[in-house]
Structure 1
């Protein structure tokens, strides 16, 4: 419990603080207005500020150890995936090459069905995709 005298002192202190806060808000508003005027004179726009803030934030993020570690991991994974895809493409191309070179020794049934399969739209589409993938990986 507080006495009546302490209540009066607290009310006076509260009024002073509210008055100071009001004064500080007015001063802050005046300073912000002056800041905007100076920026306008210098040609600094909101868009320029946003670009600068974004650039700085992006740079700060790129220098973090977490970003560097993630970048290295993803880069390594990409290299591994590229190598794996290249190996698969090479193996498939080699297999098709082997099939072509051994097609003479196949039975008549195989020699009849292989050209039919090779000329099918599905096979041609698959072969084109494999060749495109292998070519792009080698480049």
Structure 2
């Protein structure tokens, strides 16, 4: 198993962690000078254990994702149906938000004022046209 885990360590791409200086990601990390050989070995064992757990969890996740896809297929849930449901849910959340309600009320009020103004302009034009006749 140790050879298998070491092989998986070689497959890993040494990518800098978020916030880690990119220069630190170059080259092999140097051991902490105050670390004893026993502590270093314990950390190596812990590293192998955690990597093994990650691999196991990845395999379990892949199985669960296949199970999920199979259940959705049996239920007739398609990606398009999911997209429609997500869109409907999002639209409902938007329309029930206080910002949407305030904006809608403001636009409605503005529309009423615009309608009244256009009506007044129309009436004024009609009166002018009658006066010209």
Whether these two folds match at TM > 0.5 is yes
Matched, 1:79 2:116: no
Q: Report the TM-score, using the length of structure 2 for normalisation.
A: 0.72
Q: Report the TM-score, using the length of structure 1 for normalisation.
A: 0.69
Higher helix share: 1
Take 1:15 and 1:55, find their aligned partners in 2: how far apart are those partners? 46
Take 1:95 and 1:6, find their aligned partners in 2: how far apart are those partners? 98
How many residues end up aligned between the 2 structures? 100
Task: Report the alpha carbon displacement of residue 54 of structure 1 after superposing the two structures with TM.
Answer: 0.6
Of 54, 61, 84, the residue aligned with 1:51 is 84
Task: Decide which structure has the larger Cα Rg and report it.
Answer: 1
- CA displacement 1:20-71 (0-9 Å, x = unmatched): 0111010000001011111111111111111111101110111110110011
Task: Report the alpha carbon displacement of residue 7 of structure 1 after superposing the two structures with TM.
Answer: 1.7
Take 1:63 and 1:89, find their aligned partners in 2: how far apart are those partners? 37
Q: Tell me the C-alpha RMSD between the 2 structures.
A: 1.0
Higher relative contact order (CA 8 A, sep 6+): 1
Determine the structure 2 residue equivalent to 1:69.
Answer: 102
